[in-house]
Amino acid sequence: MIWIIVGLGAFTILLGTPLFVGVGGMALALFAAAGISLTAVMLEMYRLVSSPALIALPLFAFAGSLLAESRSATRLVALSQAWFGWLPGGLAIVALTASALFTALSGGSGITILALGGLLYPMLLSDHYSDRFALGLVTTSGSLGILFPPSLPLIVYGLVSQARIDHLFIAGILPGLLLMLLLALYASIVGARARLPQRPWDPRVAWTTLWEAKWEILLLPLILIGIYGGFFTAGEVAAIVAAYVLVVEVFIYRDLSLTRDVPRIMVESTVLVGGILIILGTALGLTSFLIDQQVPMRLLGIFEQTITSRTVFLILLNLFLLVVGCLMDILSATIVFVPLILPVAKVFDVDPIHLGIIFLANLEIGYSTPPIGVNLFLSSLRFNKPIITLYRASVPFLVIYLIALMIITYVPDLSLILLR
């Protein structure tokens, strides 16, 4: 019975039913079939209010939307250009750095391609990077900052898994840096081979761009020291960051008007949060039912012959998440699958924090994976290129992402060492 209902629900979702409807429908049907009152579904949804870090979600989302609508993208690009433009493959590294900063601060993928891609892509072309390289770079780095705090996927993973969000923030730093380092290395090699022009290092420009972007750059130490130093919880940091960004963008940079822009952005970010929260709420009912029925463990039982060790489990997890990542966005995939995989991961002694980093690094790749990774479609729309061109452009970058994923998955210390 469980399988029929889950199968039908999955089918409606693949037909384009809003995810929360598919998930909520499954939950209702499963509870009804088991003779449990449907009120239980709502009770589970209401359970959302018991997570202390819940407030981090709307506040960081609001701060992110403010940043995305301000001119911070331009400032971050100018800053990265002044500081990294002199390296071989400099402009490519600039693009990587600016994208990672912007994604982490604005909290979501997608926005980065739209906000930064339009700036970076013509810059890369005018510096004589090949069209394919430039497209691949801009497309795949649209999700690069997801492992850095305070990205929304890290927060949502924390809410779903009950892992400490401040620990997740710290755990993502080294894996995120590794990913950037590998991509930067590749860009340098491409840049050096093609003998692309390097800009001279100009300390004056470096200083003025830093000064220009100082209020936004200050966010990084604010978040890192606040959390790493143990001064604030994730929810408190969210309150500070949201208030800070509001003041900076409205009163200091004056990029946004308090009366014209801010209410609109509030509604905009709340629609985003609402879309996530309602899936989170309905999924709580569904996953708690499935876990109650021991479904993850039963699945594990079926595959007992195959999954003999932790390594096999991790390999299968990687493959599974690659497929899921192509189909679903990171947030919904996290909400739906983390609760089901968490108990199995415990059996194989995978640390929940490490599991979170694996999840996000893995799902992030799916964003740019042909045939239906969403970054490819965003880029195709934004730069007016056929989707096939983007498939080819993203391949070398995907290879690097996969190498990084292997290291992140099979070297848990990379994620956990800063927490010891």
Partner 1 sequence: MRGLRRIDAFFAKAEQVLIVIVLTAMLLLAFLQVLLRNAWDFGLPWVDILLRHLVLWLGIMGASLATRMNRHIRIEALTRFLPARHQRLVERGVLLFAAAVSTFLGVAAVDLVRQEQGTGSMAFGPVPTWMLQLVLPVGFAIVAFRFGLQTILPNEPAGGTGGGGTDR
- Does 189 bind partner 1 (CB under 8 A)? Our answer is no
Choose the binding region for partner 1 from 96-104, 275-283, 301-309, 310-318 (rule: CB under 8 A).
275-283
> Cβ of residue 410: shortest distance to partner 1, in angstroms?
30
With CB under 8 A as the contact rule, the residue among 16, 200, 230, 386 that binds partner 1 is 16
Least separation in angstroms between CB 133 and partner 1: 26
Return the range that interacts with partner 1 (CB under 8 A); candidates 12-20, 141-149, 209-217, 354-362: 12-20
Closest of 332, 330, 265 to residue 62, by C-alpha: 265
Q: Which amino acid would we find at residue 202?
A: D
Which of 364, 321, 353 has the alpha carbon at shortest distance from 108?
364
Which DSSP category does 328 fall into? Answer: S
Q: Which is nearer to partner 1, 315 or 327 (CB)?
A: 327
- Please report whether residue 57 would count as binding partner 1 according to CB under 8 A: yes
Number of helices (H), then strands (E), belonging to the chain: the values are 24, 0
Query: How far apart are alpha carbons 136 and 158 in whole angstroms?
Result: 31
Of 3, 15, 195, 203, the one binding partner 1 (CB under 8 A) is 15
Query: What span, in angstroms and rounded, lies between the C-alpha atoms of 9 and 26?
Result: 6
CA angle, 372 then 267 then 22, to 5°: 45
Of residues 372 through 411, those in contact with partner 1 by CB under 8 A are 372
64 binds partner 1 (CB under 8 A): no
Q: Determine the interface stretch with partner 1 among 62-70, 166-174, 194-202, 346-354 (rule: CB under 8 A).
A: 62-70
28 near partner 1 (CB under 8 A): yes
Of the candidates 66, 69, 140, 342, which one interacts with partner 1 according to CB under 8 A?
69
Give phi and psi for 107, each to the nearest 5: 85, -15
Shortest CB 201 distance to partner 1, Å: 33
- Among the listed residues 7, 36, 37, 162, the single contact to partner 1 using CB under 8 A: 37
CB contact at 8 A, 282 and 290: no
Find the binder of partner 1 among 59, 104, 144, 365 (CB under 8 A): 59
Q: d(Cα 208, Cα 79) in Å, to the nearest integer?
A: 9
Burial 81-105 (b: 16+ CB within 10 A, else e): bbbbbebbbbbbbbbbbbbbbbbbb
Give the ranges where 248-386 is alpha helix by DSSP (H). 262-292, 295-302, 310-327, 330-347, 352-366, 374-383
Show Cβ contacts of residue 369 under 8 Å, excluding neighbours closer than 6 positions.
322, 325, 326, 394, 398
Candidate list 2, 6, 88, 114; residue touching partner 1; CB under 8 A: 114
Which residue of 122, 197, 221, 263 would you call a contact of partner 1, by CB under 8 A?
A: 263
The answer to the question of residue 268 lying near partner 1 (CB under 8 A) is yes
Structure tokens at 63: 């701060």
DSSP conformation class of 146: G
Residue ranges in contact with partner 1 by CB under 8 A: 12-21, 24-25, 28, 37-39, 41-43, 45-46, 48-52, 54-55, 57-59, 62, 68-69, 111, 114-115, 231-232, 235-236, 238-240, 242-243, 246, 263-264, 266-268, 270-279, 281-282, 327-329, 331-332, 372
